[in-house]
Amino acid sequence: MQQSDHDQHSSPEQTDSAPALVPWWQRDPWLHVWVLGLFLVFTIGMTWPLARHMTDTLVSWGDPVFQAWTMAWNVHAWSTNPLDVFNANILYPYRNTLAYSDHLFGQTIFVAPIIALFDTPILADNISRFIALTLTGFFTYLLVYDLTGSRVAGIVAGFAYAFIPNRMAHIEHLNILTAQYLPLILLAARRALIHRSTKWAIALGGVLFIQGISGVYFLYFSGILLLVIFVAWLIKDHSRETLIMLGKMIGICAIAAVMLVPSLWPYQVVSQDLGIVRTQADVELWSAVRSDYLSVHPNNRLYGDWLGGNYHRHLEQDLFPGFLLVILAIVGLFYTRLVWERWMLLGLTAFSFLLSFGVIFTLFDREYTNPYVLFYEIVPGFQAIRVAARFGGHLATLGLAGLAGMGVALIVQQVRARIPDLRRGQIASIGVGVLCLTIMTAEYSHNMDLP
**Cα of 438 vs its chain's centroid, Å:** 22
- Count of beta carbons in the 10 Å neighbourhood of residue 184: 21
Rounded-to-integer distance, Cα 72 and Cα 74, Å: 5
**Each residue's pLDDT expressed in tens, for the chain with a length of 451 residues:** 334 444 433 433 333 333 344 566 666 788 999 999 999 999 999 999 999 999 999 999 989 999 999 999 999 999 999 999 999 999 999 999 999 999 999 999 999 999 999 999 999 999 999 999 999 999 999 999 999 999 999 999 999 999 999 999 999 999 999 999 999 999 999 999 999 999 999 999 999 999 999 998 899 999 999 999 999 999 999 899 999 999 999 999 999 999 999 999 999 999 888 877 788 888 899 999 999 999 999 999 999 999 999 999 999 999 999 999 999 999 999 999 999 999 999 999 999 999 999 998 887 778 888 899 999 999 988 888 889 999 999 999 999 999 999 999 999 999 999 998 889 989 999 999 999 999 999 999 999 989 8
Listed residue (428, 290, 404, 305) closest to 349, CA to CA: 404
Distances (CA, A) of 50 to 123, 174, 370, 399, 433: 11, 15, 41, 30, 26
DSSP strand E in 248-331: where? Answer: none
Per-residue DSSP letters for 153-207?
Answer: HHHHHHHHHHH-HHHHHTTT-HHHH--THHHHHHHHHHHHHHHT-HHHHHHHHHH
CB proximity list for 267: less than 8 A, separation 6 or greater? 99, 216, 381, 384
pTM of the complete model beyond 0.95: no
Rounded-to-integer distance, Cα 296 and Cα 308, Å: 5
- CA atoms within a 13 Å half-sphere pointing along the CA-CB vector of 189: 27
